[in-house]
Amino acid sequence: MNIALDLAAKGAGYTSPNPMVGAVVVSEGTIVGKGWHESVGGPHAEVNAINDAGNLAKGAALYVTLEPCNHQGRTPPCTQKIISAGIKRVVMAMADPNPNVSGGGEKFLKQHGITVESGICRNRAQRLNESFIKYVLTKKPFVTLKCAATLDGRIATRTGDSKWVTGKASRKYVHGLRHSADAIMVGINTIKTDNPSLTTRLENKKGVDPKRIILDTNLSIAEDAKVLQVASESDTIIITGNSKSSKKNRLEKMGARVIDADIKDSRIDLNALMIRLGQMEITSLLIEGGGQVAAASLKAEIVDKICFFYAPKILGGDDGVSMCSGTGPDLMSRSIPVKDITVRRFDDDVMIEGYLT
């Protein structure tokens, strides 16, 4: 099952809004077929693994990271492929979390005389598809908040200089996060200060650019901003409360999408925005800043997971840009608890990963 999960992870960035799934066919203790879901609309993992096994699939066991589908979607039901191949035993990591189909594949296979076992490496399987699970249950994206700071919690100096807080290894990992996410979100101040492209740059393969979402309440983005000039197959989406501005038509002629948003306390209502993004089939959202957006996201309780990078640097003053800006709680007991902590090193940088929900 761990081999199947490793295969499933190869689909990161390519399968959304579908889950990542891997499968392994085993005959008499020997792996005879492997496969994973490689792209939306393409064959599912089970089909690829069985095709790889060929005639050796007859009488074999199939290890799969998610319950095989028993419904017609973009592709035919995988249960039919399993039955016609002569598979005798199916071992799955987890049931399909979609309440509309959960259990259907397992039940159908059992009705056709196939032994089914479930729960092998369930926790790892759930973490792998945490975005898919939240999306099918809530129709909202799974939100990861990424920050990079000095040891004293600053993401930039008093002049706004932030290049670079962390090292190359950390930044390389972040590009992997971008590749895996459906969308990346920043505030207009980040666009004005850093002028980023918000694209994915991977060393060993062509990455997938996430949709670029910019929170710009007053539609003040400069028309020569890099994010409006990039050659990318993914959209640049500007979320605003001022869509009646004459600038909207010019931005849309440049290829950007301008979406009018609900406003709350003179700022974009992030909870309402999450519903809107879910309707756009955005299953995962990476928030990269800056301090105002980070604080607003935490206050709105839309964040599911944090990836906080700390570099071995100290600014040593109180005039730099904080990870979160604005007013925090009056008591430590009202701070936001972070659970299921993982700590990783990227050269001299340290990343703390944890969950808020």
- Per-residue pLDDT reduced to its tens digit, 133-148: 999 999 999 999 999 9
Res 36 pLDDT > 80: yes
| pLDDT value for 154 | 95
The mean pLDDT of 50-56, rounded to a whole number, is: 97
| pLDDT value for 285 | 98
The mean pLDDT of 112-134, rounded to a whole number, is: 96
Q: Distance (Å, rounded) from C-alpha 243 to C-alpha 260? A: 6
Percentages helix, strand, coil for the chain (3-state, rounded to 5) are 30, 25, 45
| pLDDT value for 357 | 78
The mean pLDDT of 58-83, rounded to a whole number, is: 89
- Phi, psi values for residue 173, rounded to 5°: -65, -40
The mean pLDDT of 323-347, rounded to a whole number, is: 95
| pLDDT value for 128 | 97
The mean pLDDT of 300-321, rounded to a whole number, is: 96
The mean pLDDT of 14-21, rounded to a whole number, is: 95
Res 345 pLDDT > 90: yes
In the chain, pLDDT over 70 holds for what percent of residues?
99
**203 labelled catalytic:** no
Residues recorded for the chain: 357
Res 103 pLDDT > 80: no
Largest CA distance in the chain: 69
Options 28, 46, 117, 288, the catalytic residue: 46
The mean pLDDT of 221-227, rounded to a whole number, is: 94
| pLDDT value for 205 | 81
Instruction: Identify the band that residue 158 occupies on the pLDDT scale cut at 50, 70 and 90.
Output: very high
The mean pLDDT of 321-329, rounded to a whole number, is: 92
Instruction: Identify the band that residue 246 occupies on the pLDDT scale cut at 50, 70 and 90.
Output: confident
Which residues, at least 6 apart from 22, have a Cβ–Cβ distance to it below 8 Å? 3, 4, 5, 6, 7, 8, 9, 10, 11, 34, 35, 36, 37, 45, 64, 65
Q: Distance (Å, rounded) from C-alpha 286 to C-alpha 13? A: 13
Which residues, at least 6 apart from 206, have a Cβ–Cβ distance to it below 8 Å? none
Q: What is the mean pLDDT of the chain?
A: 94
Which of 195-204, 334-343, 345-354 is the least confident region? 195-204
Instruction: Identify the band that residue 68 occupies on the pLDDT scale cut at 50, 70 and 90.
Output: very high
Instruction: Identify the band that residue 207 occupies on the pLDDT scale cut at 50, 70 and 90.
Output: confident
Q: Distance (Å, rounded) from C-alpha 278 to C-alpha 283? A: 7
Q: Quick one: 324 exposed, middle or buried, by C-beta within 10 A (0-12, 13-18, 19+)?
A: buried
Alpha-carbon dihedral sign for residues 232, 136, 140, 257: positive
| pLDDT value for 234 | 93
Helix (H) / strand (E) element for 176: namely helix 168-180
Find the angle CA(303)-CA(304)-CA(305) to the nearest 5 degrees: 100
Instruction: Identify the band that residue 94 occupies on the pLDDT scale cut at 50, 70 and 90.
Output: very high
The mean pLDDT of 100-123, rounded to a whole number, is: 91
pLDDT tens digits along 271-304: 999 999 999 999 999 999 789 999 999 999 999 9
